Chains A and B, each alone.
Chain A
Amino acid sequence: MKKYTFTEKKDTRSGFGAGMHVLGQQNPNVVALCADLVGSLKLEPFIKENPERFIQCGISEANMIGVSAGLTIGGKIPFATTFANFATGRVYDQIRQSVAYSNKNVKICASHAGLTLGEDGATHQILEDIGMMKMLPGMTVINPCDYNQTKAATIAIADYEGPVYLRFGRPVIPIFTDPDQKFEIGKAWMVNEGTDVSIFATGHMVWEAIQAGEILEAEGINAEIINIHTIKPLDEEAILKSVEKTGCVVTAEEHNRIGGLGDSVAQVLVKNKLVPQEYVAVNDSFGESGTPAQLLEKYGLDAKHIVEAAKRAIARK
């Protein structure tokens, strides 16, 4: 098992803020919008240096999405930011009509996604956002795994023409990817090569998958771990190549098991190569208040559960 060490833990939303800071200096067309959550989205450095390119929308997410769509007419690259729940579920129709169907170059950047938002509870812990966004024709869906990758993804999507949903979160997690990485949209990242089981993980679950890989290794199981940071378009080639080798799959995501990464992978498998697949995901329920670690354990998303899922998948081969 390839060793992943870290010296620092940070939240992925801070990676977004750092990416925006860079974009503010590099790309004069980037405009940031926020619905009264500037601190939560870590936008202060961008706003400080580019006050004229920041648009405070107040607690009006629907309007923010529409204003963002309008800004693209005139060549601006709007980054519309708020919590994932308000960035997707609350404004689905606005995104559908004014952004996706209209093919506008809007970047919807959502923090506090998934259970690990923690104590705020289920009203804020959206677990359906990947599903909603990936169902929109033309929408790119990205869920990076740590601070460095979120920063790189933020910078990369500014150069991509078209609507993007970028999902990140609140908890501090280890920084284990390269600070100078180049983020390639739609290109899965090989975390660890293995032969016994393919673990396809996204977002915060990549670190849990790495920990699971170490536990499995101690038990003599050689797991291949792939970071699917882009859920749409999905890197089908990387998935099939891995499955050819391992013959079974675990998908891991901080999302409802219905409609997320697991279902996207299952579609690829059904069409191309039928192998056993186990889901590590929230089992069609809402979340609740608690610490991130408590919630990952209770809802079956931590490393221990990935290990169990891997063993089940292998047993079904």
Chain B
Amino acid sequence: MEIEQLEKVASQVRRDIVRMVHGCQSGHPGGSLGCTELLVALYFERMKLKENDGKVVFDMNGKDEDLFFLSNGHISPVWYSVLARKGYFPVSELATFRKLDSRLQGHPTTHEHLEGIRIASGSLGQGLSVALGAATAKKLNNDKGTVYVLMGDGEQQEGQVWEAATFAPHHQVDNLVAFIDLNGQQIDGPTVKVMNNRDLGAKYEAFGWEVINIEEGNDMAAVVKGLYEAKGRLGHGRPIMVLLHTGMGYGVDFMMGSHKWHGVAPNDEQLAAALAQLDETLGDY
């Protein structure tokens, strides 16, 4: 897909995110907005997905397709929107986000059989391990698909992440691309103040990963270019880590760059102000 087209999808996804969070008056808009380019680029450009008659089909085992795992499950709004816009489930279902009897739980789950989701996430630090298992299964099955996994930067404070970080190069899991959303913010404030992760790139390199930076993580062309670069480095015995530099709340001026909008919903007035900044390109749900 052309960059311009991807940007149009991203604009709609951002509208979905703020409307979903507004609709239930809860959820996490900040990280969702910041990761919009990545998820749109993955699903609409980069990932090889199972399709039937031009329509995506969900298969839990995901044989011969690329898989995506969201470890920082609280940014579910962006994932739900991208999955719906890609065609995994009706866009109208986005209106049920975080409401009773919805398949769109606050944090992603397989429990409600929502197409596109392969593991529950929300309790942080677990997604990289799961992705490594899925990537290992692909190798055992001689399946050429790639496994992608997104983590938060605050999430790097979880010990399990570093167990997984040690495992991946040891077992040469080189069909996996991991991302860290480097927005520098977590609930209690800037990451450097809450618990300084210091140089994550140097850490992962020391652990044996190949590290790539996407400096402009909210620039669609830069993200797509970074994804192709990552893909090109697969299959050489090392897992790939992409440090994705994003802005929390990107795309809505008053939400940008602050931890304040990590898990806060906009009121009616703020919603209107946000939507005024985002073009409706594919039609609101």
Chain A interface residues toward B at CB < 8 A: 31, 52-53, 55, 57-58, 60, 62-76, 78, 93-94, 96-98, 101-104
Contact = CB atoms under 8 A, between A and B. Distances in A.
B111 A103 contact: yes
A75 B126 CA distance: 20
Interface stretch (B42-50, B115-123, B250-258): B115-123
B167 to A, nearest CB: 6
B136 A55 contact: yes
Contact of A70 (B109, B119, B159, B171): B119
Given A74-B143, A75-B141, A93-B123, A102 B110 contact: yes
Given A74-B143, A97-B120, A101-B120, A57 B167 contact: yes
Given A64-B129, A66-B126, A97-B121, 10 more contacts: A58-B163, A62-B159, A66-B133, A70-B133, A73-B130, A73-B133, A74-B143, A75-B63, A101-B110, A101-B120
Contacts of A102: 109-111, 119-120
Nearest to A31: B140
A101 B126 CA distance: 13
B61 interface: yes
B129 A67 contact: yes
B138 A74 contact: yes
A57 B171 CA distance: 9
Contacts of A31: 140
Contact of B136 (A71, A93, A101, A103): A71
Interface string B130-160: 1111111110110100000000000000011
Given A73-B60, A102-B120, A66 B141 contact: no
13 contacts: A63-B129, A69-B119, A70-B129, A70-B133, A71-B133, A73-B130, A74-B61, A74-B62, A74-B137, A75-B61, A97-B123, A103-B111, A104-B119
A65 B160 CA distance: 10
B167 A52 contact: no
Interface in B184-220: none
Contacts of B120: 97-98, 101-102
A77 to B, nearest CB: 10
Interface of B: 60-63, 67, 109-111, 118-123, 125-138, 140-141, 143, 159-160, 163-164, 166-167, 170-171
Contact of B167 (A58, A68, A93, A104): A58
A97 B71 CA distance: 12
Contacts of A69: 119, 129-130, 133
A31 B164 CA distance: 18
A66 B62 contact: no
Nearest to B127: A66
A31 B159 CA distance: 25
B138 A98 contact: no
Contacts of A63: 129, 132, 160, 163-164, 166-167
B141 A74 contact: yes
Contacts of A60: 160, 163-164, 166-167
Contacts of A52: 140
Contacts of A94: 126, 129, 160
- Among all A-B residue pairs, the 4 with the closest Cβ atoms: A70-B133, A66-B129, A74-B137, A60-B163
Given A70-B131, A70-B135, A53 B167 contact: no
Contacts of A103: 110-111
B70 to A, nearest CB: 13
